[in-house]
Amino acid sequence: MPERSRAKALPLPPVSTLLPELFLKMRPTFDGSSSLQAAGSMFVMNDVYILPLVTGLQPSSTADFRHALYGAIGSYSLLKKIAETAPKDYGKLLRTPARECLVLIGSCHFDDPLDELLHVFDFTGFGNARIDRGARFTLITLADIVDLVRKGALESGMPATAVGSPVLVISPDAPLKEAIDKMLAAGVRRLFVEGKMPAFVSDRSIVSFMFGGERLELVKESPERWIDAKVSDARFQHAPVMPAGGTLSEAATIMGPRPDACVLTDDDKVVSRWDMIMKTWKAGELAPKASDKAAQS
């Protein structure tokens, strides 16, 4: 996908203009000093895949990024930590402070243009960022941006197949550890279930399974058996299938609200929220609605 064409794409409006009620949304946060077990339980209770840390870690910065970076716990980072840990140490891992398993998400000001926010997403590789407004802050996600496409505030006439990614599959009888390793190796958040398309298992659904009450009780008795399960033991989700020639705006309409929602194209490509927004934006094909474009002319 080419870098975004500045000549072709008009500047996008400020976040505050597009999402004036963003600070009214409730977003769960987490204490970095609490345990990984508590973090996992928060993922089970909340339909999110990123929990910003509110204590336990100071913001950081880097020379090539002008915004502050803040600690967060992600379902993907939990799986990475599990994969790096010997089975005999799973019990100890669950008691580890959550700040030992963090990722860094970027930040932006409420009045910054949406282009600036998408630069932040691009720099960190996460479709989540902290939005600051004076002394207050909240979390913004790619789901919020997709919702703008669904409502018509942003437009893209690109065909969904233009930004789709190859589907990765796994057997429902494969060990759960194999699914985790495959996700981490490929850098993806979902694997489609062989013979059960369009069913898929995601990083968040695996975390929800492993941090459920039954699995946590198992850790107390036999820590090494915590991950001893099959892919089919985790909850499957189903991706809506796009009609032939469907556009990204149509994909936004049928995409579900869950944090790991996606759609399948008629040629069996998967379109995630990242594909839908970030690839389109880089191609210079994400634009304000027609009336806004006329006002900027």
pLDDT in tens, 217-243: 999 999 999 999 999 999 999 999 998
Token pair in block for residue 243: 């009609």
The whole-angstrom separation of Cα 139 and Cα 145 is 12
To the nearest whole number, what is the mean pLDDT of the chain?
Answer: 89
pLDDT at residue 9, rounded to an integer: 61
φ and ψ of 146, to 5 deg? -60, -35
* CB contact at 8 A, 51 and 45: no
Q: What is the pLDDT of residues 150-163, one digit of tens each?
A: 999 999 888 999 99
* Residue 175 and residue 230 in contact, taking contact as beta carbons nearer than 8 Å: yes
Residue 244's pLDDT band, with cuts at 50, 70 and 90, is confident
| HSE, side-chain direction, 13 A CA sphere, residue 206 | 33
The 10s digit of each residue's pLDDT in 177-221 is: 999 999 999 999 999 999 999 999 999 999 999 999 999 999 999
pLDDT beyond 70 at 56: no
Question: pLDDT for 135-145, tens place per residue?
Answer: 899 999 999 99
Phi then psi dihedrals of residue 107, to 5 deg: -140, 165
> Going by C-beta distance under 8 Å and a sequence separation of 6 or more, which residues neighbour residue 210?
40, 82, 176, 226, 227
Q: What is the mean pLDDT of residues 35-53?
A: 89
Closest CA to 277 of 246, 253, 248: 248
**Which range scores top for mean pLDDT: 25-29, 51-55, 99-103, 113-117?**
113-117
Could you identify the residue written with the tokens 């695996």? 206
Tell me which H or E stretch contains 65: strand 65-74
Determine the Cα–Cα distance for residues 73 and 136; give it in Å rounded to an integer: 20
Residue 5 has pLDDT above 60, yes or no: no
Selection from 156, 97, 128, 133 nearest residue 289 by Cα: 156
**What CATH homologous superfamily does 15-154 map to?**
CBS-domain (3.10.580.10)
pTM of the model: 0.89
Q: What is the pLDDT of residue 4?
A: 44
The answer to whether residue 40 scores a pLDDT higher than 70 is yes
**Quick one: pLDDT at residue 175?**
97
Distances (CA, A) of 105 to 16, 59, 194, 241, 290: 20, 10, 33, 31, 32
Q: What are the extents of the domains in the chain?
A: 15-154, 160-288
Query: Where does the pLDDT of residue 67 fall: very low under 50, low under 70, confident under 90, or very high at 90 and above?
Result: confident
pLDDT of residue 257: 86
Class at the top of the CATH hierarchy for domain 160-288: alpha beta
**Bridge partner list, 165:** 270
Is residue 198 reached through a cis peptide bond, with omega within 30 degrees of 0 on the bond before it? yes
Q: Is the pLDDT of residue 265 over 50?
A: yes
pLDDT of residue 44: 87
Average pLDDT score over residue span 106-131: 95
Domains 15-154 and 160-288 share a fold: yes
> What mean pLDDT comes out for the span 161-176?
95
Residues 237, 155, 127, 276, CA torsion sign: positive
How confident is the model at residue 55, as a pLDDT? 65
**Could you give the CA distance from residue 96 to residue 197 in angstroms, rounded to a whole number?**
37
Contact in structure between 129 and 140 (CB atoms under 8 Å) = yes
- List the single range of 49-53, 160-164, 171-175, 210-214 with lowest mean pLDDT: 49-53
